[in-house]
Amino acid sequence: MRPEDVPEAERVSDEGFFELDTRMRRQSGPVPRRRSPEHRAVWMERTRHFVRIDPGGCWVAEDETGMVGMVTSFRRETLWCLATYAVRPGRQGRGIGKPLLAAALSHGRGALRWMLAASSDPRAVRIYHQAGFELHPQMYLTGNVDRTAIPVIEKVREGSASDLELMDSLDRRTRGAGHGPDHQLMLSTWRLLVSDTTTGSGYAYLDERGRPALLAASNRRTASRLLWAALAEGAAETTIGHVTGANQWVLDIGFAARLELHQEGFLGLRGMKPPAPYVHNGALL
Ligand SMILES: CC(C)(COP(=O)(O)OP(=O)(O)OC[C@H]1O[C@@H](n2cnc3c(N)ncnc32)[C@H](O)[C@@H]1OP(=O)(O)O)[C@@H](O)C(=O)NCCC(=O)NCCS
């Protein structure tokens, strides 16, 4: 993938996920939507970041009709992560996706840990399982935060670039590798909350829609404090995504805030257990 491929790669992935959401839609689930112009801009900025830093992890598949598939992946220290992976609807299930993933995996050669957030697409999970990933079901909590349930929150402050080292240390402790340059990307678009006391430290990002987007902490007490702060500071209608069974503390808070619990997708891992206390991000993990 080259920088000039990013807009077309965005279309391929948007079409792929829209068709997947339509195919997998549950009766009670949200109505599938195409990406908004704002979401599209965030997606393209993030993808340019991957292409710039990890050109060897980002690939497209083309035929005489143009681009038919795309994948973005990256290496951070000893960890490999998959960011996005899609084949155009109507072209799936015909052997385009597998070599694309193989190219992305080869970028991780020598890595000790491997992470991806899988959709529920039966083709995707089949391919990840074949590639040796353990699949851990993901939950998410959604709804309107009951403001009366929010406890008094102390020892949480706004974060800044001066917290980069602290955040990378917490990343190494929870997932085995710092986010490095991804923190700079997140800092440029998202709001950062930090807690750093003598008994524990942690951080949480709120995304452009005011929803918790990534959280890491040295213990559950600090993680809980940060998640409450993120709910208090964030949007009234929220979603806490990507919750694994190893993070039951998120359910304690989600239920206390009167959110609804659902299940979607899997955290795929190789060489590691589900990080905790940690709420991963779908693309930046
Ligand atoms: C996931 C995805 C990128 C894979 O690309 P693809 O071109 O469809 O994949 P391939 O054709 O190379 O391989 C598909 C595998 O699933 C199998 N398969 C095909 N249709 C299937 C179906 N309906 N159910 C289950 N397995 C199926 C194929 O037989 C093949 O496995 P095999 O080689 O062991 O026989 C593509 O399907 C896609 O874009 N899905 C929607 C977006 C998505 O979920 N992306 C992943 C996000 S984490």
Take atom 28 of ligand 1 and give the residue whose Cα is closest. 93
Residue 90 beta carbon below 6 angstroms from any ligand 1 atom = no
pLDDT at 28 exceeding the cut of 90: no
Q: What's this model's pTM, rounded to 2 decimal places?
A: 0.96
Per-residue burial over 69-80, b if 16 or more Cβ lie within 10 Å, else e, is bbbbbbbbbebb
pLDDT at 284 exceeding the cut of 80: yes
**What is the predicted pLDDT for the residue at 26?**
75
Atom of ligand 1 nearest to the CA of 117: 48
| pLDDT tens for each residue of 128-178 | 999 999 999 999 999 999 999 999 999 999 999 999 999 999 999 999 999
pLDDT at 44 exceeding the cut of 90: yes
Atom of ligand 1 nearest to the CA of 118: 48
**What is the predicted pLDDT for the residue at 124?**
97
- Give CB contacts under 8 A, 24+ apart, made by 108-111: 108/57, 108/73, 108/75, 108/80, 111/75, 111/78, 111/79, 111/80, 111/271
**What is the predicted pLDDT for the residue at 29?**
74
Residue 127 beta carbon below 6 angstroms from any ligand 1 atom = yes
